[in-house]
Amino acid sequence: MDAAQLLRERLERARRDTEALLAPVPDADLVRRPSPSQPPLVWELANIVSFEELWLLRNLDGETPLAEAHADVARALRREPTTAEPPPLRPDSVRSYAADVRERALALLEQADLDTPNPLLRKGFVYGLVLQRELSHQETMLQAIQLLGLEYPHRDEPRPDRAPGSDHEVVVEGGSFVLGAVDEPWAYDNELVPHEVELPAFRIDRTPVTNLELAEFVDDGGYRSHRLWSRAGWEWREREHVAAPLYWERSDGGWERIRFGRREPLPPGEPVQHVSCHEAEAFARWAGKRLPTEVEWERAAGWDERSGKKRFPWGQEWMGFEASLDRRRFAPAPAGSYEGGESSAGCLQMAGDVWEWTSSWFQSYPGFLAFPYSECSEMFFGEEYRVLRGGSWATDALVARTTFRAFDVPTRRSAFTGFRCARDA
């Protein structure tokens, strides 16, 4: 199969998945805003398509905007949904716009020269950019569906295998390794340039922190102990009246959670999710540990002393049995699962299950060059966004590479976020 045909198949599969994800949601819920910080689902779809039109039709081929053919969508897109009442968008209009843009984009792909020196087209980079954007928005859509409280149909695959061994921590020896993406044709600019870094030895949890461990922190008064929290974290906790992870509720029988419109007992062995970075840091202090830096995280996840950089913790390809990815489960797998997904350092579940908070602010690597636009990464650098690593159960494997750097404000809880702890060796 040639590169253009492979790209076409990936784009078409992603769109089918987007449509299938939204199919159970009534139009009346597609236009509802799930939270002040998140736009309606119809806006998520419109943003996917608008990005595709910009990069595959206008920037790549010089086509004029499709404003005349899709006037109502164009009018809404000229305004951002940042107010309490975002501009109205009709789902049927956005679906029509999506079909039109995709038909034109695939027609252009048939004539694309992917061996050109043009950095946008070489190895299909711009198509990979658009593809990854849609895959990331699919996960954001699931976050919105959870926030809306919709009873959403889902099926969990059977319980996966468990890895042998009971060590709670692994020791990662000190030394140098290569940080950043190597041989990744669609890597984002913030993953580049790969460079060698030196790290002292450290210890890191073999698995993510579980619901049971977080419940012990709650029961021990962790959310009421000022000394465990950073100043910003305590102010946020008091302002938002946070007393447990998002979607947790107490009942006579113990902790329960709300998962896609259904109340169920909290599975003690699953990695905790829907926690902010502030909560993760407070737990780590309570446990006598800290969050890993993103450099430590990538070293533990993706480096092998003999073979070098690995795309996934276990190797270069995802065969389906090494991790919980791509919505095969609508929740994390129990901690200690997926023997085949173990990293060379001895860690489990460093791809999939939950995005993992790190202690690092989102900053550029040495030699950084913004490409193909500054808003991709550069405008977010600084001490406002924390780095998350690894992907969640809702993440596509294409995005769950060990070098991928997600980022978010440290107060975010609606994403499928968890963490593991680290400490000096």
Burial class (CB in 10 A: 0-12, 13-18, 19+), 338: buried
Which residue range(s) make up the domain with 217? 156-425
293 and 200 within one domain:
yes
E runs forming strands in 130-253: 169-172, 175-179, 195-199, 202-205, 248-251
The CATH number linked to 77 is 1.20.120
> What span, in angstroms and rounded, lies between the C-alpha atoms of 255 and 211?
10
160 and 142 within one domain:
no
162 and 130 within one domain:
no
Closest of 53, 134, 173 to residue 425, by C-alpha: 173
> What span, in angstroms and rounded, lies between the C-alpha atoms of 237 and 315?
40
pLDDT at 142 (0 to 100) = 97
Q: Helix and strand tally (H, E) in the chain?
A: 11, 14
Quote the pTM value. 0.95
Domain boundary among 106, 129, 148: 148
> What span, in angstroms and rounded, lies between the C-alpha atoms of 219 and 221?
5
How many other CB atoms sit within 10 Å of the CB of residue 117? 7
346 and 307 within one domain:
yes
Residue 103 CB contacts under 8 Å (≥ 6 apart), including other chains: none
Bridge partner residues of 308 (DSSP): 304
How many other CB atoms sit within 10 Å of the CB of residue 254? 10
Domain boundary among 148, 172, 205: 148
- DSSP class of 353: S
pLDDT at 283 (0 to 100) = 98
**Average pLDDT for consecutive 10-residue bins of the chain (425 residues)?**
89 97 97 90 95 92 80 82 69 96 94 90 94 97 96 85 82 96 95 97 98 97 97 97 97 94 95 98 98 98 94 94 93 95 96 98 96 91 97 96 98 97 96
188 and 130 within one domain:
no
38 and 171 within one domain:
no
227 and 111 within one domain:
no
Bridge partner residues of 361 (DSSP): 386
> What span, in angstroms and rounded, lies between the C-alpha atoms of 351 and 347?
10
Closest of 125, 126, 127, 77 to residue 97, by C-alpha: 77
Reported for 66-74, long-range contacts at CB under 8 A and 24+ positions apart, including other chains, are 66/97, 66/100, 66/101, 69/100, 70/96, 70/97, 70/100, 73/46, 73/97
123 and 178 within one domain:
no
The CATH number linked to 236 is 3.90.1580.10
335 and 268 within one domain:
yes
> What span, in angstroms and rounded, lies between the C-alpha atoms of 309 and 311?
7
pLDDT at 6 (0 to 100) = 92
Closest of 188, 249, 162, 167 to residue 375, by C-alpha: 188
Q: Is 206 helix (H, G, I), strand (E, B) or coil?
A: coil
- Structure tokens given for 382: 């600084």
pLDDT at 392 (0 to 100) = 98
pLDDT at 383 (0 to 100) = 96
384 and 320 within one domain:
yes
* Number of domains the chain is built from: 2
pLDDT at 65 (0 to 100) = 76
> What span, in angstroms and rounded, lies between the C-alpha atoms of 89 and 76?
7
410 and 321 within one domain:
yes
pLDDT at 305 (0 to 100) = 92
Domain boundary among 128, 148, 168: 148
pLDDT at 402 (0 to 100) = 98
Q: Per residue in 37-48, pLDDT tens?
A: 889 999 999 999
269 and 394 within one domain:
yes
Q: Is 345 helix (H, G, I), strand (E, B) or coil?
A: coil
Contact 364, 190 (CB under 8 A): yes
Q: Is 417 helix (H, G, I), strand (E, B) or coil?
A: strand
> What span, in angstroms and rounded, lies between the C-alpha atoms of 168 and 347?
10
Q: Where are the alpha helices (DSSP H) in 164-317?
A: 211-219, 231-240, 277-286, 294-302
